[in-house]
Structure 1
Amino acid sequence: MRWFKSSYSEASANACVEVAVQAPHLIAIRDSKDPGLPHTTVTRAAWAQFAQALRRGALTR
């Protein structure tokens, strides 16, 4: 898999998320600080809903 740093991750921050296309309909997500740990896989639809919620500010603390 080819991993990409999330556009929401700051260049100098320690809290980075990486994503990769695992199959035509699946997205893999991992913590860039520890790439050796298992990754999480979600559907493209679930990833799109999550990204939309982030853009709307629906997932703030």
Structure 2
Amino acid sequence: MHEVEFEDSKLYEKEKFLFVDGHKASAIWLSIDEILSGKKTLYPDSLVSVLKNDKREE
């Protein structure tokens, strides 16, 4: 996982991103707390352990 920034800061205000990756799909913003608590699911799920390790280092 890499930390990146959008060149266009208005993209942070978008609620949903539509894309095609073999099929039509969408992505939304989630808080780390929503993911770590299990309220929301992150794909691929192997990224959850990366977030947990990163949160411990704070």
TM over 0.5: no
Structure with higher Rg: it is: 2
TM-score by length of 2: 0.30
Between structures 1 and 2, the one with greater strand share: 1
Between structures 1 and 2, the one with greater helix share: 2
TM-score by length of 1: 0.29
